[in-house]
Amino acid sequence: MDAMKPACTLRVNEATSAGVRRIADGLIGDALRRGCRSQRKPATTVHHFRTTTKRLRALLLLIRPVIARTTFERENARLKRIADRLAPLRDRTVAVETLMALGQSPEVVGRALPSVSSRRSSLGSTPQPALARAARELDQARARFLKLRIRGDGWEVIGPGLIKVYRQARRRKHAAVSSQRDLAFHRWRIRVKQLFYQLQWLEAVWPQRFGRMLKRLRRLEENLGRDHDLLELRSLLRKMPVPADGGAAINRVLRLVEKRSRKLQQASERIGAKAFRESPRKFQRSCRRHWASWLQ
């Protein structure tokens, strides 16, 4: 998870709908400025752009109940396409970093990932055109966010969306813990990340509680993120043809991946039990009460 805390947060002296538009404008403007400064580091720009699209999708979820359904679906799909087109540029980097984090030598990395390094990226050999296209699309998204028709104001703008994401994250925690399925842990991670972003924009409303939740959600998402990277690496390795040496090194890596993944999932279960201990109904009542106090 991006450790950077966004400068854009809701303010007590402005309409909530205006604050939402300002946050979107700030997120996109910051990403585009960072992209200009990182022109010689495409991977850094990809990270900034992808993180921004994820934050914007979390913002859309926050206001989903008060915007048109077709608007949400259209803008969410556009943002997802931006992130998906940039994903291949980071596949190799993440796979190599994951292997190195497992303590594997460069020689093992080279044997384990030859197809990844030779695979043609959808971005081509020079990623600048794809990054330029992503920058244009983000700028277009900014214009659309500024024109969003948001119904209502105050807590009714962000409250229902926040509680829904909290409830879904809690349910996905139960599903992951009960099923122990890798896909369930991945689905849980998505909502955890989105809730983390949303609470960052609302931390001023309830600093003590939201600050504590943010710390737990950060640790939780980091664990789930490392687990996801491990499982993506496992998927890549299983799809590869068996090398001439019989694949002994790859099999050792696969066993290590399974062991490390289970430890991360167990740690995630413990953190999640604390982060989502409160029922959605009680969480909603507490949030609404502190929102009213914040406005006074």
Q: Mean pLDDT across the chain, nearest whole number?
A: 88
The dihedral built from the CA positions of residue 26, 215, 167 and 289, taken in this order, carries a sign that is negative
Percent with pLDDT over 90 in the chain:
68
Mean pLDDT value of segment 190-210: 96
The CA distance from 100 to 106, in Å, is: 8
- What's residue 124's pLDDT? 47
Q: pLDDT tens digit string along 237-281?
A: 887 776 666 577 778 888 889 999 999 999 999 999 999 999 999
- What's residue 236's pLDDT? 80
Q: Write b or e for each residue in 29-42: b if 16 or more Cβ atoms lie within 10 A of its Cβ, otherwise e.
A: ebbbebbeebeeeb
Contacts for 280 with CB less than 8 Å, ≥ 6 apart:
163, 166, 167, 170
Mean pLDDT value of segment 106-124: 53
- What's residue 99's pLDDT? 77
- What's residue 238's pLDDT? 81
The CA distance from 91 to 95, in Å, is: 6
Nearest to 232 by CA among 204, 209, 254: 254
Question: Which two tokens mark 107?
Answer: 């020689």
The CA distance from 67 to 152, in Å, is: 10
The CA distance from 110 to 256, in Å, is: 17
- By the 10 Å C-beta count (0-12 exposed, 13-18 middle, 19+ buried), 224 is classed as buried
Q: pLDDT tens digit string along 144-191?
A: 999 999 999 999 999 999 999 999 999 999 999 999 999 999 999 999
Question: What residue ranges do the domains of the chain occupy?
Answer: 12-90+120-152, 154-296
- The DSSP letter of residue 66 is G
- 83 phi, psi to nearest 5 deg: -65, -40
Q: pLDDT tens digit string along 4-32?
A: 454 588 999 999 999 999 999 999 999 99
Q: Write b or e for each residue in 197-223: b if 16 or more Cβ atoms lie within 10 A of its Cβ, otherwise e.
A: bbbbbbbebbeebbeebbebbbebbbb
Asked whether the whole model's pTM tops 0.85, one would answer yes
Is 211 strand, coil or helix? helix
17 vs 128 pLDDT, higher one: 17
